[in-house]
Homo-oligomer: A and B are copies of this chain.
Amino acid sequence: MAVSIKDVAARAGVSTATVSHVLNQTRNTKPATRQRVLEAVAELGYSQNLSARNLAVGRSSLLGLILSDIRNPFFPEITSAFQDQALLHHMEALVLNTNYDTQRTLDSVKRLVGLQVPGVAVVTSQVDPSISEMLQERKIAAVYLDLGRVDRYIANITVQYEQGIAEALEHLASLGHRRIGFLGGPAHLPSSDRRKQAFLDTARQLGLEPCGPVTSDFTVKGGYYACSKLLSSFRPTAIFGGNDLTAIGALHCAFDRGLRVPEQLSVVGFDDITFAEYTQPALTTVLIPRQDIGRTAFQALWHMISSGDGEGREYPVATRLIVRQSTAPAPQP
């Protein structure tokens, strides 16, 4: 039906092997032959059947990218950078959305295994051990976000929250803030815990009075209620959101209480460049470089795939503080 390599070979008057080699640049060919093949390809509008190719070479040109929620603005940035890198290496990114559902994550991995992908980036807040096991057993390269483990076929990206949080607190302290609230995330999330710990450690070090942490579930609504609780119990002049959605919730909460940000309440959140456009310009943020994460994830996979042994590495990714419209604390009544 569709035009196949045989048609091209016939048209160009060469063997299929030659066509294959020309297309993949996998051995020398006389310029004239090469030319004829390329012409035939163009004339017939031929495009490689990648299923066949993948079957023959035993691995797919697809790379898996498992995300917990593509609708969370955190992830499209990662996706985009990952895809761009993949494209450069003639690979495709197959993005799978798990909706924070462990079972669905497992299913996704199985589907990727069936697709014979050589590598998978797992960018979810939690990773069930069965997932990394399944991948490692099959020698499929995998890179995780803040998993904290490195092994054969297992690489890890560590976001350096600590440094960004320290910068943010130093900034607030230098403006004169002392009572700073923290809206923490779910206790079971390692990244949530690290952020809280970094906040508390740095706050102590700087001699500040940390308020809270009050726990939220890392959603806008959760941030709203946590902030509400925090403002009722303490009188912070600044609030640090445990993640970006939480900080947005805090903004809404401040708005509803008639507290102007940042004049009467400074809010700091996590963020990245694109997302900043959609929110109020008053939000000072710790930037999590999502593009870097996406790019690094690909590179980690690529490294394991192309280096024979598949030995994984640790990839630190720095955060950065973005200051906007900061003010000193308002005088208290």
Q: Which residues of B contact A277 (CB under 8 A)?
A: 220, 248
A49 to B279, CA, bound (A): 45
Q: Which residues of B contact A275 (CB under 8 A)?
A: 278
- Tell me if A60 and B51 are in contact (CB < 8 A): yes
Assembly stoichiometry (copies): 2
A52 CB, nearest partner CB in chain B, Å? 5
- Tell me if B50 and A115 are in contact (CB < 8 A): yes
Q: Would you call A326 an interface residue if the criterion is a C-beta within 8 Å of the partner chain's C-beta atoms?
A: no
Say yes or no: A51-B55 contact (C-beta < 8 A), given A76-B70, A76-B71.
yes
Q: Annotate A14-52 by CB proximity to B: 1 below 8 A, 0 otherwise.
A: 000000000000000000000000000000010111111
A260 CB, nearest partner CB in chain B, Å? 12
Q: What residue of chain B has the Cβ atom nearest to residue A1's Cβ?
A: B58
- Tell me if B76 and A80 are in contact (CB < 8 A): no
Q: Which residues of B contact A137 (CB under 8 A)?
A: 45
Q: What residue of chain B has the Cβ atom nearest to residue A65's Cβ?
A: B95
Say yes or no: A80-B73 contact (C-beta < 8 A), given A114-B49, A115-B51.
no
Q: Would you call A228 an interface residue if the criterion is a C-beta within 8 Å of the partner chain's C-beta atoms?
A: no
A73 to B79, CA, bound (A): 13
Q: Which residues of B contact A49 (CB under 8 A)?
A: 55, 114, 116
Q: Which residues of B contact A52 (CB under 8 A)?
A: 51, 55
Q: Annotate A92-128 by CB proximity to B: 1 below 8 A, 0 otherwise.
A: 1111110000000000001101111000000000000
Q: Would you call A160 an interface residue if the criterion is a C-beta within 8 Å of the partner chain's C-beta atoms?
A: no
Q: Would you call A234 an interface residue if the criterion is a C-beta within 8 Å of the partner chain's C-beta atoms?
A: no
Q: Would you call A138 an interface residue if the criterion is a C-beta within 8 Å of the partner chain's C-beta atoms?
A: yes
A317 CB, nearest partner CB in chain B, Å? 18
A61 CB, nearest partner CB in chain B, Å? 9
Q: Which residues of B contact A76 (CB under 8 A)?
A: 70-71, 73, 75-76
Q: What residue of chain B has the Cβ atom nearest to residue A221's Cβ?
A: B277
Which residues of A pack against B, CB within 8 Å?
A: 1-2, 45, 47-52, 54-55, 58, 60, 62, 70-71, 73, 75-77, 79-80, 83-84, 92-97, 110-111, 113-116, 134, 137-138, 220, 248, 252, 255, 274-275, 277-281
> Known pairs A51-B60, A71-B77, A92-B96. 15 more at Cβ < 8 A?
A1-B58, A2-B116, A2-B138, A45-B134, A47-B110, A47-B113, A49-B114, A51-B51, A51-B116, A70-B79, A76-B76, A80-B97, A92-B94, A94-B94, A248-B278
